[in-house]
Chains A and B, each alone.
Chain A
Amino acid sequence: MTRLTDFQQGFATAMLDVALPPPCSIRGAGFGSVARRFDIHRNRIATNLVQTLAERYPVTRRLIGPESFAAMAQLYTVHNPPRSPVLLDYGDTFPLFIRSLGRFPSIEYLADISDLELSLSRAYHAADAAPVSVDAFAQLSPDFLEDLVLSFHPSASLVASRFPIVSIWEAYRSEDEGQLVTLWAAEAALVARPDDEVRVWLLPSGGHAFLANLMKGATLAEATHAAADAAPDFDLIANLEMLISSRACIGIDSLALMAA
């Protein structure tokens, strides 16, 4: 234990817990209280972290307003200070935190929107990979289709909700007043960044079960069965078209080919 260790221990503890007074080894220009001076550092931490969350969760912020968002974000930062100086990942557990605030539909809905935003910001910084071209899919032999196994872009992920999260996100993604979402129904999304731009696709019926199984390494036949079980009106052609045009796949394999 060094003197510097002691000093930094005391300073950091008081920095993180606003209920604690500033450490006694610091002073202002005179002998009075140093609270305002100490708060410059405290405020800087809070401002930086709340700003980081605001940049990652802009639609969540717009939905509840900047004041409520700042209060919620500040509470989060106190209990979940960053573990890394790279803040690109800071707030990965923010949706989980929102969910923990209570079992109300309004909380669940906000948490689902923040889940979608988490997928978006993760996709933005995910590793690069070359998507499979539409032509490569077109050239597939029908004999191998059933045993087809796909690998996905590192940026690709799925989000599902019993609320219309994609429509709401679309409506509130710009600063302008969002249009009203008329159809209040469950929605699921595929998020991916095949090139520079992160994109969101609204999944057709059964699409979530279909893609979730494919992402786990199921064959096309297995994923189709799972999707049909989940949604009786599952449309394989519509789902395949969406998947191919999304360019979220980076590899095609066939179990039959691999065995051969």
Chain B
Amino acid sequence: MAPARPRFAAPTIQPESSGVSLTRGDACDLVAPGLAVDFFAVHAESNIGNGGPLPRWLERIRAEYPIALHSTGLSIGAHHPPDRDHIARLRQLIDRHDPSFFSVPLAWSTHEGTYLSAELPLPYNSESLTLVCRNVDQVQRGLGMRVLLENPASYLFLDETIMREGAFLHAVVEQTGCGLVLDIANVFVSAINLDCEPMGLVDSFPIDDVELLHLAGFSENTDDNGARLLIVDHQVRVPESIWAIYRRILGRTGPLPTVIERQQGSSFGLADDAAIAKQALRRAARQSMNRNQRQLGTAP
């Protein structure tokens, strides 16, 4: 089926773009003039169907806004190669809706034909690096599009992990030509849960490979031993601890397109969070412009 608009005219995501997760129930509230929403992050697997109003609904959104597709079903961290049928379905979705980005979590979610419907943790070592690179490579060839790998939220130490997450992700980028999504809530939550200093973990992230940022909130818990345990929560607003890291990262990278993640039925304050991100993005754009001008001014 032909795209709703010719490709050259379709809007694309810019460095200063701020976007939000789009689910069916929220569309009417969010697709409104005057909101700081420049694009939508769309869950790929929720939009694969034979027909019906859903693809047409997405086509209408796509005619007005660029989209970033996020897929949770490819199981890029599985020991087995990705499912060819699923790659073919995603390719159809990409051909129809022409997303600016296509991202997947660095995790596994399938095992022996069962879909586990969660992002399960992957040990970081040379064997898993080889397998992830093979899987990313197959997905990129099958989709005809670059993939962005997203850092996961960690809740557990894995005995078999011998590499740091940042080094692992950077190695995959080097070997496959993919890019990265930096999910700031996932980094923060992982740091607390694995007893690291959050800023230290952020600073060790291969920031130059990052093309898209994800922001979300979390809930406070404790583990069996009374240690602080944070759980990523896509039903709440982005807390100040995450905004602080976000501003610090933008200070280093300049503006990077940013998604506020939220699940269906939790749109409270979503447009406000998108507006806060937009403000930070504009400020980062001004700062990097000033920096460039200063550098030009001091050039011989």
Across-interface contacts of B118 in A (CB, < 8 A): 15, 41, 44-45, 48
Q: When the two chains form their complex, are residues A27 and B52 in contact, meaning their CB atoms are under 8 A apart?
A: no
Of the residues A12, A26, A123, A154, contact of B114 by C-beta under 8 Å: A12
Inter-chain pairs besides A12-B111, A34-B156, A36-B223, 17 sampled, C-beta below 8 Å: A2-B127, A4-B127, A7-B158, A8-B79, A8-B108, A15-B120, A37-B193, A38-B155, A40-B155, A81-B116, A82-B117, A84-B86, A84-B115, A85-B72, A85-B83, A86-B73, A125-B50
Residue-wise, chain B 98-122 has the 8 Å CB interface mask toward A (1 for contact) of 0000000000111111111111111
Across-interface contacts of B193 in A (CB, < 8 A): 29, 37
Q: Does A18 contact B (CB under 8 A)?
A: no
Q: When the two chains form their complex, are residues B78 and A8 in contact, meaning their CB atoms are under 8 A apart?
A: yes
Q: When the two chains form their complex, are residues A12 and B116 in contact, meaning their CB atoms are under 8 A apart?
A: yes
Q: When the two chains form their complex, are residues A125 and B54 in contact, meaning their CB atoms are under 8 A apart?
A: yes
Q: When the two chains form their complex, are residues A7 and B160 in contact, meaning their CB atoms are under 8 A apart?
A: yes
Q: How far is the CB of B94 from chain A (nearest CB, A)?
A: 15
Q: Does B89 contact A (CB under 8 A)?
A: yes
Q: Does B123 contact A (CB under 8 A)?
A: yes
Q: When the two chains form their complex, are residues A15 and B116 in contact, meaning their CB atoms are under 8 A apart?
A: yes
* Top 3 A-B pairs, shortest CB-CB distance: A85-B73, A12-B111, A125-B49
Considering only residues 158-202 of chain A, those with a C-beta below 8 Å from chain B are 193, 196-197
Across-interface contacts of A35 in B (CB, < 8 A): 224
Q: Does B229 contact A (CB under 8 A)?
A: yes
Q: When the two chains form their complex, are residues A127 and B51 in contact, meaning their CB atoms are under 8 A apart?
A: yes
13 contacts between A and B (CB under 8 A): A7-B123, A7-B158, A8-B111, A25-B160, A27-B157, A28-B224, A29-B195, A40-B229, A84-B115, A85-B73, A85-B115, A124-B52, A124-B54
Q: Does A16 contact B (CB under 8 A)?
A: yes
| Separation of A4 and B131 alpha carbons in the complex (Å) | 9
Q: Does A245 contact B (CB under 8 A)?
A: no
Q: Does B231 contact A (CB under 8 A)?
A: yes
Considering only residues 222-273 of chain B, those with a C-beta below 8 Å from chain A are 222-225, 227, 229, 231
Across-interface contacts of A37 in B (CB, < 8 A): 155-156, 193, 223-224, 229
Of the residues B79, B117, B156, B159, contact of A2 by C-beta under 8 Å: B79
Q: Does A232 contact B (CB under 8 A)?
A: no
Across-interface contacts of B143 in A (CB, < 8 A): none
Q: When the two chains form their complex, are residues B49 and A88 in contact, meaning their CB atoms are under 8 A apart?
A: yes
Q: Does B286 contact A (CB under 8 A)?
A: no
Q: Does B53 contact A (CB under 8 A)?
A: yes
Considering only residues 1-52 of chain A, those with a C-beta below 8 Å from chain B are 2-5, 7-9, 11-12, 15-16, 25-30, 32-38, 40-41, 44-45, 48-49
Q: When the two chains form their complex, are residues A85 and B160 in contact, meaning their CB atoms are under 8 A apart?
A: no
Across-interface contacts of B120 in A (CB, < 8 A): 8, 11-12, 15, 41
Across-interface contacts of A26 in B (CB, < 8 A): 121, 156-159
Q: Does B298 contact A (CB under 8 A)?
A: no
Q: When the two chains form their complex, are residues B156 and A27 in contact, meaning their CB atoms are under 8 A apart?
A: yes
Q: When the two chains form their complex, are residues B155 and A196 in contact, meaning their CB atoms are under 8 A apart?
A: no
| Separation of A32 and B227 alpha carbons in the complex (Å) | 10
Q: When the two chains form their complex, are residues A45 and B45 in contact, meaning their CB atoms are under 8 A apart?
A: no
Q: When the two chains form their complex, are residues B225 and A32 in contact, meaning their CB atoms are under 8 A apart?
A: yes
Q: How far is the CB of B219 from chain A (nearest CB, A)?
A: 11
Decide yes or no: A49 and B51 within 8 Å by CB, A9-B111, A25-B158 being known contacts: no
Across-interface contacts of A128 in B (CB, < 8 A): 50-52
Q: Does A83 contact B (CB under 8 A)?
A: yes
Q: How far is the CB of A197 from chain B (nearest CB, A)?
A: 8
Q: Does A126 contact B (CB under 8 A)?
A: yes
Across-interface contacts of B52 in A (CB, < 8 A): 123-126, 128, 155, 193, 196
Q: Does B48 contact A (CB under 8 A)?
A: yes
Of the residues A32, A82, A193, A197, contact of B115 by C-beta under 8 Å: A82
Of the residues B89, B111, B114, contact of A86 by C-beta under 8 Å: B89
Across-interface contacts of A29 in B (CB, < 8 A): 157, 193-195, 223, 225, 227
Q: How far is the CB of A127 from chain B (nearest CB, A)?
A: 4
Across-interface contacts of B113 in A (CB, < 8 A): 83
A195's nearest neighbour on chain B, judged by CB, is: B53
| Separation of A130 and B43 alpha carbons in the complex (Å) | 29
Of the residues A15, A41, A85, A154, contact of B155 by C-beta under 8 Å: A41
